[in-house]
Structures are given as C-alpha cells and as structure tokens.
Amino acid sequence: MPNLNITVEDRVCVVELNRPHAMNSIDPEMREELYAFYERMRNDDSIHVIIFTGAGDKAFCTGADLKKTMPPKESYAELLLGRGEPGSAFHGLTTDKPIICAVNGYALAGGTELLLACDIAICSANASFGLTEVKRGTIPYGGSMQRLPRSIGKSDAMLMLLTGDMIDAKEALRIGLVSKVVPLSELMPTAIGIARRIAANAPLAVRAVKQLVVQGQDLPLVHALHIDKYMYGILKDTEDRIEGRVAFQEKRPPVWKGR
C-alpha cells in the first residue's frame, strides 16, 4: 500500500498522506515518496494546483515517525556534506504552482511544518497544531523557525516555538495560521473548490503571482515593486492576456493556453 495516495483531476492534484494507523507520521519510505512527488509536481503539466491532506479523520500529519527514525550512525556532516542528504522531508517542496493544505485533525511538528511550506491553509474544526520539538530535546527541522514568524508575527510564533504547546483551530484562525475553519465533512470540498477556482485562472498569471509574493517577502519593498513591473511586462503580450480581454468582451469563459 502506498504511503501517498495521489490523484489528479481537472488540473487539481490531491496528495493524501496515507499512514492513518500511525497518525500519518512520516517514516523513511513516505519521505522518499514525497521527494519523488516533488519532482513530478514541478514537471507534470497536468498539475496546476496541489492539495495536501491526511487519510482518516484524526490526524493530518504528526511529523516524523519516532519509532522508525532514530538518529543515524553517520555524523551530520557526513550525511549533509559527504552524501548530500537533503535532510527535512520537505526539502524540495518548491514550486511556483499554488499549494493548499487541508488539515484534518492533528498537525504536529512536521505536520505544522508542512502547512507552513504551503501557500493556503484551511482546517477542520477538530484540528490541532503544535511545534512540539522542544519537548523532545530538538528544534523544528523543516523551516518553521523562519517561516512561522513571517506568517503570524514574532510574538505568537515565539509562544508556539518556545512552549511547544498545541493550539486549536479557533486559535489558529485568530493568529492567521489558517484562512478558514470548516466542519470536517466540508474540508475537502472546500479545499477542492478553492483549488478549482485557482486552476480556472490564467496559469501563467497564477504562477507569476506566487513567484512575486514569495520572492518579494525577502526583498526591500522598492526592489519587490520593480520585479512586479518586470513580470507585468513579461505577461503583457502573452496570448492568455489577450484571450482574457477578448473573452470578457465576448461574454464567454476564457480558453487559456499557458502561453
């Protein structure tokens, strides 16, 4: 049985973490499947939007499977520098295609880190979140110490990171960790609905928007605004931009070609 259930329909790819018996924790086998998916995600033109979720109704992902991921015998330097081991299970989760996280139940440690690597996050009312690594004598390893303060602000981020405490869906919505809280039965229909609305838009424009937002976060405002201008110029004469205007004039849905 695969550790990831992957389906693609109408340009929307749903990736379901499929270890419900282990709270969808990430073992070495799932990690390798994730790496393979990241490669496919970037190169498969039939995929315009990605949704991550978890199998079952108890957990989205509870991070690394501690029963199967004990520290390796090799030194960290040997793995990182000598063998080029990527490290985090989310290494390589980079694409200009939008990624939605649909959290059903517990999103702990790596589960919250996966959420932070995505672009849009929604959750079910029974969801819980936590970066609990300090309670296990370590630190978040998937980028959360940098992404979380950029997402929700320093004080709320430090409260989560330093205490290792869990928060519920209501608090996650308050601090901006998620955009929507819905009943569990409505989670995937809501996520798929968002994904389809995104996929219905001009694909080059959608990918440009994500690139600009992600890159702009690390730039001074004046530099980010200059990049916006360059991207506008790149898109200005594309067939899709002309099609968008013609379709509006003719009062019909546009037919995007991605060029």
Would you call 29 a catalytic residue per the annotation?
Answer: no
Q: Which of 39, 133, 239, 243 is catalytic?
A: 133
Would you call 33 a catalytic residue per the annotation?
Answer: no
Query: Whole-angstrom Cα distance, residue 152 to residue 164?
Result: 16
Q: Which of 113, 171, 186, 250 is catalytic?
A: 113
The answer to whether the Cα torsion of 35, 36, 42, 47 is positive or negative is negative
Contacting residues for 231 by C-beta, under 8 A, at least 6 apart: 208, 211, 212
Residues pairing with 7 in the sheet? 14
Backbone angles phi, psi at 161, to 5 degrees: -70, -40
The answer to whether the Cα torsion of 157, 158, 162, 168 is positive or negative is negative
Question: Sheet of 128-130: strands edge to edge?
Answer: 59-61, 106-108, 128-130, 167-168
* Active site positions, annotated: 113, 133
